[in-house]
Structure 1
Amino acid sequence: MDYYKIIEVRDFIEKNISIKPETGIILGSGLGPLADEIEPEIIFNYDEIPHFPSSTVIGHKGRLVFGQLEGRYVMAMQGRFHYYEGYDMKEVTFPVRVMQLLGIKNLIVTNAAGGLGEHLSVGDLMLITDHINFFGDNPLMGKNDDRLGERFPDMTYAYNPELREKARKVGEKLGISMPEGIYMGVAGPTYETPAEIKMAEALGADAVGMSTVPEVIVANHGGINVLGISCITNDAAGKAGKKLDHSEVMEVTEKISENFSNLVKEIVKEF
């Protein structure tokens, strides 16, 4: 990753905002409407930002929103970049590097995921406690840039326990059940086979999806605290008793969007 490209984007953004954001938000498939509740100072389409990729997936608007959410100044990605879109890991995680150099302290990363755990139901908002990287790749591969982080970052607390506790208390206050679980990230874009889901269960995964892990690795490398939330949009392959379809993902996220938005807004206030 070219450090000076990150600097260029940071400088481009800083020229257009009045306050540096403290919290970053990455909104997964179908969860983008939360960004519409931000009182915007400025909104960039991804193609307006130097060196930014484009989001090509339905349910990802492809906008970077800066503004006030519940009295906090935030930076929200209304749509992310995926490995399966043909981007390399450095491109997928480029926005997180920009967040790092903008001084973001806390990152809320969200996704739509298939549920494996017996304690999970479609429509649940799962607090991610840990992850399994099954992409077969890592965004830190290659020469390490010490300006961005150390060579061998510790991932014991990849998902910050203090932020998770705050989120749990917010959920209790709002009456929103928030089961916990381990997220497995896979390359996609195919949904997993029933045999692959059995493997994921054997490895200890509770939910599976095609994102999040690369961004979380880079956030930890850059010293950013992470809170992860998975929207369980479907039963994983072999459990659903039917074929999987992306439209199902969008339907479920639409149904739970109010709970999701209320939850994240209250969490941001706690930061």
Structure 2
Amino acid sequence: MDYLNQVKEATATIQTIYSEKLEVGIILGTGLSQIGSEIEVIHEIEYANIPHFPISTVESHQGKLIIGKLSGKTVLAMKGRFHYYEGYSMQQVTFPIRVMSFLGLKKLVVSNACGGLNPDQEVGDIMMITDQIDLFPESPLRGVNPPEFGPRFPDMSEPYAEEFQAIARQIASEKSIRLHEGVYVGVQGPNLETKAEYYYLRGIGADAVGMSTVPEVLVANQMGMKVFGLSAITDLGVKGKIKKITIQEVLDAADIASPKMIEIIRELVKRIA
């Protein structure tokens, strides 16, 4: 079965479980499953029960699709995403985004845990993503491009919707939340960066680095979805602040950032849907 029909089959399976309108898609990144606890669950679907869906192999990613209510809006949330470093192709990594679009979703909120490159950032801070740099070795748009997927050469001059950013700034101001803004650079991982690589990434214009998000946002834009991105700063790639770090420290830092992310995402969903 070709890729397009795989997307259609996965979409049809989800629609047999829930066929009503969905308003916002949400991707919950590493250590940010607390956001999922804010959702009033209507249905919970294991990835393993959706045809052609990959299975997350990362311990902190639960592998469930949640349909439910957040701020009175119907959302579809991924508790666990897929990464290129797990051995999946970029088509597999972005498969859920194709499915979300086929389900009729036009708005997407993405979150992640990442390394901070901006000297103004501290561990536990959050950053609104305003733009991105793609350093992955493969594009999810490579290969056959059915018309249903969108333009062959999608415009990426506004990968993150400026109207959503304006709303998030207002929310952060109202709730006295320190909200950084910056450019996210995506790399393949799974290793963390050397000091030289941190300095290089900062030098090319990045404020944060991570191993996800960029492919998903690229596909979302191709399919005409408006995107909002939020990062938890879980470690620092800043001269004088670089130290050895474990995955547990990353998760602990995400726990610090999570309440602030919940505040913004919960209110954003209310205002954009």
Counterpart of 1:124 in structure 2 is: 125
Counterpart of 1:83 in structure 2 is: 84
Counterpart of 2:157 in structure 1 is: 156
Counterpart of 2:109 in structure 1 is: 108
Measure the CA separation in 2 of the matches of 1:10 and 1:191: 35
Counterpart of 2:188 in structure 1 is: 187
Is the Cα–Cα contact under 8 Å of residues 26 and 76 in structure 1 kept in the other structure?
Answer: yes
Measure the CA separation in 1 of the matches of 2:187 and 2:11: 30
Counterpart of 1:38 in structure 2 is: 39
Q: How does 1:97-246 map to 2 (within 5 A)?
A: 97-236=98-237, 239-246=240-247
Is the Cα–Cα contact under 8 Å of residues 26 and 110 in structure 2 kept in the other structure?
Answer: yes
Q: Cα RMSD (Å) of the superposition?
A: 1.2
Counterpart of 2:69 in structure 1 is: 68
SS in 2 for 1:3: helix
Q: How does 1:240-259 map to 2 (within 5 A)?
A: 240-259=241-260
**Following TM superposition, where does structure 1 have runs of at least 4 consecutive aligned residues deviating by more than 4 angstroms?**
none
Deviations 1:68-111 (A, max 9, x none): 11100000001100000000000000000000101111100110
Letter in 2 for 1:250: L
Measure the CA separation in 1 of the matches of 2:181 and 2:167: 13
Q: Which moved more, 1:251-260 or 1:231-240?
A: 231-240
SS in 2 for 1:84: helix
Question: TM (normalized to structure 2)?
Answer: 0.96
Is the Cα–Cα contact under 8 Å of residues 19 and 73 in structure 1 kept in the other structure?
Answer: no
Counterpart of 2:11 in structure 1 is: 10
Measure the CA separation in 2 of the matches of 1:63 and 1:209: 22
TM-fit CA distance, 1:45: 1.1
TM-fit CA distance, 1:263: 1.7
Measure the CA separation in 2 of the matches of 1:117 and 1:237: 7
Measure the CA separation in 1 of the matches of 2:203 and 2:123: 21
Measure the CA separation in 1 of the matches of 2:19 and 2:5: 22
Is the Cα–Cα contact under 8 Å of residues 232 and 258 in structure 2 kept in the other structure?
Answer: no
Letter in 1 for 2:260: N
Is the Cα–Cα contact under 8 Å of residues 83 and 212 in structure 2 kept in the other structure?
Answer: yes
Measure the CA separation in 2 of the matches of 1:165 and 1:249: 29
Unaligned runs of 5+ in 1: none
TM-fit CA distance, 1:238: 5.3
Q: Which moved more, 1:57-66 or 1:256-265?
A: 256-265
Q: Which moved more, 1:81-90 or 1:233-242?
A: 233-242
